[in-house]
Structure 1
Amino acid sequence: MLENALKNAFGINCHLEQIKLKGLPLYMVSGRVFYSAVMGDASFLIVKLSDKEKFGVVAFKKQLSQYMEKTGLNVAFCFDDITRVQRDALIAKEIPFISLPDQIFLPFLGVMLSNNLKRKMIVSTDKMMPATQCLFLYLLYKSGNDFFIKKQAADDLGLTKMSITRASEQLKQMDLIREERVGKEIRMVPNYRGRELFEVAKDYLINPVQKVVHTEITKEEGLFIAGETMLSRHSMLAAPSEDVYAVVKGSDIVSSFEEIDTRWQDDITTSRVELWKYDPGLFANNGEVDPVSLAMSLSDNADERIEGELQSFLEEYKW
């Protein structure tokens, strides 16, 4: 692809050969791929950077000199994608670069630049955002699908175009999915399935519970069985003294709650209601929250009995 792109850009035959470089610091060779390039009378070295590397023009400028001194060739860095700010910084420092399909700055050979640059979206990969977890659960529980159309997923989950874009980008950066464009469709393809997908993603998942309130309420429309109450239905765990329900924060139901302080009113039968960061109804089944969200809602519980029964419940769940 790189060979053909350079040939088409300058109308000159291009020959690339992958090579290895020795005698350089580890950070200048680790994770990078090197190509010897010949185009007409010009010979140069292409340094293909890993997409996990941090961008720094000052470091690239220093490395450029070291590569040129080592090989005696002109050198160009190759990026999967760059932003307008990054492109302009490279040009200002006179650092040759290639970023396909239409950002090529090779002063020793030729220049082809386009204003068709997308702003690169940067999202945290420490923990999932609530919208990302919604999208993840959507992909997880529909594991029979080979791919998912982004627009359809957004419609099904009630997410805006921006929210679905940020959510899918976060899953991509966590290496949980990849995206493929087919015509006008953008397809999301999970890199794992079922239990394996859950296990790989487990450290990224968040506790969906934002707040807990105690109120004198019985089960009603819009509330879903959750927490220890749900777990007790699927294990040997005894039912808790308070029924536990979940509802999305901001629900109209929440505004009707009369919150009770159980420390002072222990003579009233109350329910524990978890206010969630996303709608538990999206993945509920038979009035109960989904297993993965249940597991994450109990993840901060230090009770070994709960931890053990939860583990058994997940092992028996048919992924």
Structure 2
Amino acid sequence: MKKLFEQVYGRKLDSFEETKYSLPLYLQDGKRFYRVSVSGKAFVVVFFENQERFNIKTLKKQLASYQNALKEDAVYGFDKISSFQRNSMIENDIPFVSRNGQMYLPFMGVLFEKCAMGEDVVKERFAPGSQLLFLLFLYENDSYTKLEAAKRLQVLPMAISRASKQLLEKGLIEEKKQGTGIVMTVSVKDRRELYEKARKYLINPIQGVMYLPNGKVDSSAPASGEFSLSQRSELGYPKYVEYALYKDLPFFKELVGVDPDLNYEADIVRVQKWKYDPVMLSCNGQVDPVSLICTFEDTNDERIHKCLKDVKEEIWNWQII
């Protein structure tokens, strides 16, 4: 854990030391405590010695207890976390650090993903709209006018202008004025070469995940996650049936999810809330292959990565219906 802070903060790390506190057993059992100071700002890392699964509601409730008892900001520490756990904690404003290079410290204005592994700076990655436009080029035509692309993706022309600017800056497309409009054309027509050229800019489309009673989600929603992967490879049937939906759908307004720890698996489905509309790129009830691969970017499961190799082969023949 100390090494992570040293890699991120360098000389700004004032101190890092393990400390013992007199706390109730339920707050102390299975935990180790580290007092950290960065640029004069002190906080306590409550490190879980052995915690693969946790309840978000419990974490949030106990966070207040830690802060009241310690009289300082408290941060949860983990050996490693999944992308779902990371997103859930960020959505619930729960500060955390993880040895697999992820950090969320809202009281210091810090959000790093794989920060200790030399990944691309977040601003260099695609914006959601840019990724959607890129995938349209990858799967369908080599060129579009901005109006054609806006109509195809059901967005405003201004959104296409913003997205095309980012693709242009990264050398993925070229633009040429034609009459009163602007034609966008891919810089390379070979799909494999175009994909490899853009791969380092791709983002995970999942903004958050929620669990809903079975039957709440329309069957027309495209399958995603391990549920989709199990239908496209030799991966075994997953724990939950899982779908992807656009985060801004009216469907989500005032919708209350259920706690998966308190409900039977067969009675609930898992819903991924995407930053762009997965339906735009879906085919035969499945999310598109590139987006599916991106949803597993933080997964270390070798079994899943092996199956994703099969999904990658779909890219070259994917046709949106």
* 1:156 counterpart = 2:152: yes
1:214 aligns to 2:211 (yes or no): yes
Question: Relative to total residues, which structure has the larger helix share, 1 or 2?
Answer: 2
TM-score normalized by the length of structure 2 = 0.57
What is aligned with 2:161?
A: 165
Q: 2:184 aligns with which of 184, 188, 208?
A: 188
Q: Which letter does structure 1 place at the counterpart of 2:165?
A: E
Cα 1:316/1:250, change in 2 over 3 Å: closer
Q: In terms of Rg, which structure is larger?
A: 1
List alignment gaps of at least 5 residues for structure 2: 1-121
TM-score, normalised relative to structure 1:
0.57
Whichever residue aligns with residue 281 of structure 1, its letter is V
Aligned length: 194
Paired with 1:255 and 1:176, the residues of 2 have a C-alpha distance of 36
1:266 deviates by: 4.0
Candidates 303, 309, 320, aligned match of 1:305: 303
Letter in 1 for 2:268: T
Matches of 1:296 and 1:153, distance apart in 2: 23
Q: How many Å separate the matches in 2 of 1:316 and 1:213? A: 28
Superposition deviation, residue 156 in structure 1:
1.4
Quick one: structure 1 residues 179 and 286, their matched pair in 2 at CA, closer, same or farther if it must change by over 3 Å?
same
Q: Which residue of 2 aligns with 1:174?
A: 170
Letter in 1 for 2:153: L
Quick one: percent identity of the two aligned structures? 37
8 Å CA contact 1:222, 1:253 repeated in 2 = no
CA shift, 1:316, in A, is 5.2
SS at match of 2:284: coil
Change (3 A) 1:146 1:248: closer
Q: Which residue of 1 aligns with 2:242?
A: 244
CA distance in 2: counterparts of 1:317 and 1:146, whole angstroms: 15
Whether the 8 Å CA contact 2:290–2:315 is kept in 1: the answer is no
Distance 1:224 1:127, change over 3 A: same
The residue that corresponds to 2:269 in the other structure is 271
Q: Following superposition of structure 1 onto structure 2, how do residues 125-144 of structure 1 map, counting pairs within 5 Å?
A: 126-142=124-140
Q: 1:223 aligns with which of 198, 215, 221?
A: 221
Q: Aligned-residue CA RMSD in angstroms?
A: 1.9
| SS of equivalent to 1:299 | coil
How many angstroms apart in 2 are the aligned matches of 1:127 and 1:300? 15
1:51-200, aligned counterparts within 5 Å? 126-142=124-140, 145-193=141-189, 194-200=191-197
Q: Matched residues in 1 for 2:202 and 2:312: separation? A: 15
Q: CA deviation at 1:272?
A: 0.8
Shift of 1:125: 5.9
> Relative contact order: is structure 1 or structure 2 higher (C-alpha 8 Å, sep ≥ 6)?
2
